Structures are given as structure tokens and as C-alpha cells.
């Protein structure tokens, strides 16, 4: 006969399950959040985000930079849950949370205090006890919380505030710039960096940990300063963490609101997939991008670029209706020379007044099996009459294949480009800006191409990709002189 299950058995079984959940919550940041906030709903992004934070909480990562778009829950993880979990694991830690203002830092402090006062938290970490308001032996204010009977504390300050006195074991920096205006002020950027070097860094020791969670505003912000002066490893796989975990490096991960980079183990999204689609859909994000592409790339894509030093900038001429004085429709194609290069193929119209109107763009790192039908299809669809294809490094074979695939009404010619690329692009930059006109909304139609054009820097070596400017330069070289002579 089977024994009857009693209420006592059910209580004991439930207690055993709760104990296992509690033990798991101590080991994993996402489980900690779910344990202390049962209503928390984690997306695939949050699962990765908290897994990265967990590496920091457990000390396997000492210095970490995470770039996250606005309103994606970054501060809940970094500035509320991380200090609560770390002070719970070790109540002797001295943790400082720093923001652009003391008011903002105190807001995080209040939410952390609320978490520490919850019964579920106390069950997990009974040694992490805050002082009661009436306890005069320990500090419990909006700016600082001390742990009763232990050496640990939580401080919440603005970056202009002090960290004098005690050393800092864990430094958490969440949005040190209030907005676009502050981040684009050289004075404020210098103040933040000066604070970091002369105040924050002086409170750190050999075993200190640092976490920066930013919405990027400017390429010369604190993250940019660290990237210039220290070793920063971009995390794309968990093997990267394992490989460099014992070295004095910063780890960095950037979560794009709209995926434009190649899929990785940590962010396996396909291109153009939103980070949190149920809350920030692709349609909503594209509307935001349409309002101001440059700011969107900084805030939402973690890809800021200073206007200073740009070759072209973002102020291009645009059109919303094809001109009536078009004399020819042509194509220019620059095939990919190396593995990480882009094929760039552009269909365009030439007008009788010497202007060039961009009609269509193919811009991709795909193989020739993909790009050959892509380019030929684009040219047939747009009824291109002539095409110039660079024959360098396999371009001749590509041109022959395009000749086979395209309509007989399109004349294909290939040529070898031997002139210095840097000299060509720099010397023709002014003419490119003067003569080339893009369709309205080109930043939405071809976002990767757009970024590589408007963010191209005058210092040539500072650019990772030059395929888009090279192709625009080629269009000018092939057409503008002959067109102007024709007009004369």
C-alpha cells in the first residue's frame, strides 16, 4: 500500500524547493532578480545581460563596460540589483554608485534600500543588515548606508561629489552625462574624466572592481577615454571572458537597439532585429531613427561619433522626386577586396546640370554567390544603362558574371583602379558633397551604408571601412569631369 501524503509532507517538499531556489538565486543574478521580484519577465536580451552582470558579481570580470539603449532596464540590473547582490554576498564590501547627479544616485539608493528591506532578500542574505533609523552607531542616509556589525557600505553620489575617506571596493558608474547637451560639452566631458582620474581612481585598489553602464552620447566620453588609454576586449563569446579573465583588461559589450553588426554568441540576433521587440518594436525604433539618425546611433546603437574631424558629416542634400533633366542612369560597383570589406554597388542618375542622384544601393559583406544576383537584379530593376566595375582582386570575374546576368541593354565595363585610395577620397570629398544627392530617408533604407558615409573621418587610419566613400568617389571620378565638359 502506498503511504498517504500529509500536509506535513507538502510543507517539507515546498520548503525544500524554496531552499533550492534560494541557493540558486545566490549563484545567478537573473535567478536573484526573479527570487526578489517574482513578477520580473526576462527577454532573451535580459538573460544575456544578467549573465554578463553575474560574471561581474562573482568577480570573474573585474572591469566591465556595457552599452545599453534607453528604457531597456539597464539600471535595474546594474545600479540596484548588482550592489544589493554584492553587498549581500559580502557585507564588508564598500560599494559606490555614481551618476551625473547626486539626486539620480540617491534614487538608485532608495530602490536598493527598499530591496534590502524585503523579507525575501533578508532570507537570502541575513548578514547584510542595514541600520534602523534610530540607530546612531551606523549611517543610514540617502547618500550612504552602513552594514550593521560589518565593514561594508553603499554610497550614492554624483560625479562631482566626493569619495574621500574609505577605499572603494566596487565602483558602479551609471550615466555620468545627463543628456546630449552635457555630453557634447568639452568642459563637462573633461570634468567627468578629471573626476575619474583624480577622485575615483585614487580610491581604488588592486582588487577593486569597476562597472560602467552607459547610454552613449559622445565618442570622447569616459568610455572613449578608457578605450584610448587601456586595453578593452569586446565580448562576443563566453570564451572571450575565459581567455582574458585573469588579465588587466576591460571587458565591453554593446547591445544595439536594432541589430546591425554580425550575430555573435552573446547577441545572436539577425540583422535588423530589435533588442526588446515587445517593448520597443522595429517600427517604433525606426521612427526614432528617422527624427535624428546621428543621435539615434549614439543613444540606441552605442555608436557615437563626434562631428569634429568628420570628412563628410550628416548634412547631405536630399530629394523626394526624381529630376526631369536626367541624361543617363548608371551603376558603379566596388567589389570586396578582403574578408571584412563590403561590396558597394550604387545605381545613380546623372542630370544635365551636373548633379548625381543616388537611386539604389547594395552594401553587404555577403559572398559573391549572393552579391552577383543581388547587384544584377538591382541593375535590371532600375533599368541601368551603363556600369563601371572595379576589376581589382577578382572584380573582373565578378563583372563578367554581372554581364551574363543583366539585361542586354546594360553595358558593363571593368577597369583597374591603381591610384592611392586615401588621396582619391580626401581630394574629392568636397565635390562628392557638392554633386551627390541622396533620396530622403536614405538613412533608413541603407543604415549601414549611411553610417559608414556620415561617420567617415578625415584621419584615414581612424576608419575601419572605406568602401562606401571609395564608391562615391569613384562615381565622381567617372562622371563629373565628362559631364561638365558636355555642359560646356
**pLDDT tens sequence across 51-65:** 999 999 999 999 999
Examine the pLDDT at 88 and tell me if it is beyond 90. Answer: yes
Out of 51-65, 378-392, 394-408, 426-440, pick the least confident. 394-408
Q: What is the per-residue pLDDT for 3?
A: 66
Nearest to 370 by CA among 388, 343, 348, 390: 343
Q: What is the per-residue pLDDT for 309?
A: 79
Helix (DSSP H) and strand (DSSP E) numbers for the chain: 20, 15
Q: What is the per-residue pLDDT for 417?
A: 82
271 vs 329: which has the higher pLDDT: 329
Cell of 405: 546576368
Examine the pLDDT at 1 and tell me if it is beyond 60. Answer: no
Q: Return mean pLDDT, the chain.
A: 88
Whether domain 19-289 has CATH 1.10.3470: no
5 vs 476: which has the higher pLDDT: 476
Q: pLDDT digits over 212-228, tens only?
A: 998 888 888 999 899 98
Q: What is the per-residue pLDDT for 289?
A: 85
Q: What is the per-residue pLDDT for 281?
A: 95
Whether domain 318-487 has CATH 1.10.3730.10: no
Mean pLDDT value across residues 99-103: 89
Contacting residues for 61 by C-beta, under 8 A, at least 6 apart: 52, 55, 209, 241, 245, 251
Map out the domains of the chain as residue ranges: 19-289, 318-487
Q: At what angle do helices 29-36 and 7-27 cross, to 10 degrees?
A: 130
**pLDDT-based confidence at residue 15 (cuts at 50, 70, 90):** low
352 backbone dihedrals φ, ψ, rounded to 5°: -70, -15
Q: pLDDT digits over 278-331, tens only?
A: 999 999 999 888 888 878 888 899 888 766 678 998 889 999 998 999 999 999
Pairing of strands 153-158, 144-146: antiparallel
Alpha-carbon gap, residue 111 to 99, rounded angstroms: 15
310 backbone dihedrals φ, ψ, rounded to 5°: -80, 145
Alpha-carbon gap, residue 132 to 54, rounded angstroms: 30
Examine the pLDDT at 488 and tell me if it is beyond 90. Answer: no
Give the containing element (helix H, strand E) for 26. Answer: helix 7-27
Amino acid at each position: 500500500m502506498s503511504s498517504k501524503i500529509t500536509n506535513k509532507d507538502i510543507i517539507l517538499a515546498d520548503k525544500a524547493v524554496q531552499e533550492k531556489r534560494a541557493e540558486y538565486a545566490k549563484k545567478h543574478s537573473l535567478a536573484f532578480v526573479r527570487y526578489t521580484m517574482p513578477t520580473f519577465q526576462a527577454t532573451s536580451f535580459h538573460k544575456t545581460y544578467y549573465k554578463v552582470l553575474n560574471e561581474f558579481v562573482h568577480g570573474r570580470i573585474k572591469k566591465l563596460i556595457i552599452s545599453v539603449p534607453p528604457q531597456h532596464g539597464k539600471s535595474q540590473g546594474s545600479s540596484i540589483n548588482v550592489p544589493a547582490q554584492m553587498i549581500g554576498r559580502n557585507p564588508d564590501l564598500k560599494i559606490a554608485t555614481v551618476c551625473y547627479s547626486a539626486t539620480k544616485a540617491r534614487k538608485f539608493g532608495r530602490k536598493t534600500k527598499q530591496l534590502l528591506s524585503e523579507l525575501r532578500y533578508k532570507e537570502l542574505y541575513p548578514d547584510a543588515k542595514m541600520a534602523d533609523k534610530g540607530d546612531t552607531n551606523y549611517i543610514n542616509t540617502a547618500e550612504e548606508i552602513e552594514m550593521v556589525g560589518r565593514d561594508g557600505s553603499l554610497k550614492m553620489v554624483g560625479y562631482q561629489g566626493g569619495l574621500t575617506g574609505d577605499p572603494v571596493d566596487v565602483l558602479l558608474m551609471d550615466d555620468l552625462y545627463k543628456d546630449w547637451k552635457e555630453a557634447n560639452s568639452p568642459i563637462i566631458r573633461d570634468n567627468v574624466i578629471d573626476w575619474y582620474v583624480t577622485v575615483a581612481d585614487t580610491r581604488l585598489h588592486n582588487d577593486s572592481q569597476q562597472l560602467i553602464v552607459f547610454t552613449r552620447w559622445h565618442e570622447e566620453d569616459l568610455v572613449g577615454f578608457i578605450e584610448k588609454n587601456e586595453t578593452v576586449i569586446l565580448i562576443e563569446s563566453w570564451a572571450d571572458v575565459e581567455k582574458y579573465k585573469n588579465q588587466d583588461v576591460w571587458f565591453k559589450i554593446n547591445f544595439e537597439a536594432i541589430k546591425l553588426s554580425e550575430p555573435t554568441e552573446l547577441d545572436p540576433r539577425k540583422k535588423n532585429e530589435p533588442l526588446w521587440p515587445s517593448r520597443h518594436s522595429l517600427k517604433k525604433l525606426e521612427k526614432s531613427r528617422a527624427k535624428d539618425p546621428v543621435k539615434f546611433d549614439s543613444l540606441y546603437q552605442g555608436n557615437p561619433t563626434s562631428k569634429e574631424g568628420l570628412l563628410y558629416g550628416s548634412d547631405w542634400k536630399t530629394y523626394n522626386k526624381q529630376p526631369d533633366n536626367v541624361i543617363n542612369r548608371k551603376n558603379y560597383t566596388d567589389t570586396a577586396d578582403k574578408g571584412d570589406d563590403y561590396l558597394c554597388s550604387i545605381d545613380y542618375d546623372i542630370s544635365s546640370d551636373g548633379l548625381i542622384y543616388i537611386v539604389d544601393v547594395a552594401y553587404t559583406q555577403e559572398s559573391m554567390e549572393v552579391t552577383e544576383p543581388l547587384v544584377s537584379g538591382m541593375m535590371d530593376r532600375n533599368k541601368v544603362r551603363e556600369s563601371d566595375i572595379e576589376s581589382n582582386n577578382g572584380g573582373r570575374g565578378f563583372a563578367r558574371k554581372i554581364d551574363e546576368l543583366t539585361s542586354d541593354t546594360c553595358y558593363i565595363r571593368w577597369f583597374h583602379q591603381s591610384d592611392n585610395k586615401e588621396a582619391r577620397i580626401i581630394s574629392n570629398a568636397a565635390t562628392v558633397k557638392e554633386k551627390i544627392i541622396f533620396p530622403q530617408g536614405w538613412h533608413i533604407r541603407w543604415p549601414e551604408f549611411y553610417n559608414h558615409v556620415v561617420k567617415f573621418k578625415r584621419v584615414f587610419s581612424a576608419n575601419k571601412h572605406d568602401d562606401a566613400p571609395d564608391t562615391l568617389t569613384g562615381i565622381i571620378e567617372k562622371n563629373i569631369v565628362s559631364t561638365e565638359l558636355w555642359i560646356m
